[in-house]
Amino acid sequence: MNLNKVSIEDIDISGKRVFIRVDFNVPLDTNGGALTIADDTRIRSTLPTINYAIDQGAKIILCSHHGRPDGKPEPEHSLALVATRLGRLLKKDVLFAPDCIGQAVESLAATLAPGDVLLIENVRFHPGEMNNHESFAKALAAHADVYINDAFGAAHRDHASITGITRFVQTTAMGLLLRKEVRYLESAMASPTRPFVAILGGAKVSGKIGVIDNLGKTVDKVVIGGGMAFTFLKALGLEIGASVVEDDMLDDARKIYQHAIERGIKFYLPVDCVVATHLGADAETKIVSVQEIPHDWIGVDIGPASARLFEEVIENAKTILWNGPMGVFEIDAFSRGTFAVAHAVGHAYAMSIVGGGDTGLAVHRAHESENMSFISTGGGAALQLLEGNSLPGLAALPDSPI
């Protein structure tokens, strides 16, 4: 797949209605019963594209999803909060449309002057978005003279606002964030400065198997943490108590480990872990070696010896790719391993690329965001690209002639 696509800087957008698909699927917190934005990284990441369009005198219409509202309006997934935060970041008024298609939206869009910004309501409030209905894609396209995809976090989806709309807008291109995301991940895979260390965590081996296989062609060292580590440990003959495991992936895990060793890749698994009686902040916990996990106890984080081992591996790296937390970091008592890795990556003299989703949130909570070279805004899209697979959202855009 050609990843070199026409970008917003390659086309004339002055005075035109520019429909920008962004990814404002931000995490929310409930404080005293009121919803607030917990992390606005995804909003901030799209500011260069939006500001460029403002400077060019475009009439800007922003489109995003939030959550999985199942094709009907759900107040907790409204983008109204995002419109307020975006206006604060842009230091200008942002209009908000209570729907994403229809006469009311078209009337608002018709009032836009050059440099104005309109955010339309969550596209997933309509079933036509995730089902990629042609009629819904056409209705979205009615707002646009130019379509820009800047939503890397949704670029792996074959949805109406990602791929369907491109069939009905003559001029399409990638935004500055999407271009930056693709270039960082492509450079890490194609020509990394060595040693190249991949840190993989999260719950499931099945979600990372393609990545591990593809990374095996370029990576020097692999660090495994999170729930997926217990599948590897069980595959190597250890008892893992009541820890999360994918029994149908044991053979694959064994093969992955063996192939890595055969290729000369250094493969690091936890040597100790934090175990708990159950998944809860009130659980009893203790630190044990991976050979001594008690029956009916659950592994919830890497232990201090594993953290030190992983820190030593990370310290000598020149390129680091990190996707997946080391444990159930959302619970404070189980967050130390993930935060230790975040601090190690943040202070390494290396190009550090952090996968989106949970990993990005963990880095934010560890206060290490500013120390990372690049934090991807898309977990699933990053994984798909790292597997060497095509992204529908990219494939739908025209190739650059250069």
* Residues designated catalytic: 42, 204, 357, 380
Q: Give CA–CA dist 145/168, Å, rounded.
A: 10
Token pair in block for residue 311: 């820190």
SS3 (DSSP) at 215: helix
Q: Region of 114 please: left (phi>0), alpha (psi -120 to 50) or beta.
A: beta
SS (H, E, C) 278-313: CCCCCCCEEEEECCCCCCCCEEEEECHHHHHHHHHH
Q: Give CA–CA dist 158/367, Å, rounded.
A: 34
SS (H, E, C) 159-180: CCCCCHHHHCCCEEEECHHHHH
Give the closest residue to 68 by CA, choosing from 78, 59, 77.
77
Q: Give CA–CA dist 342/372, Å, rounded.
A: 9
Q: From residue 391, give the alpha-carbon distance in Å to each of 178, 308, 314.
A: 11, 37, 30
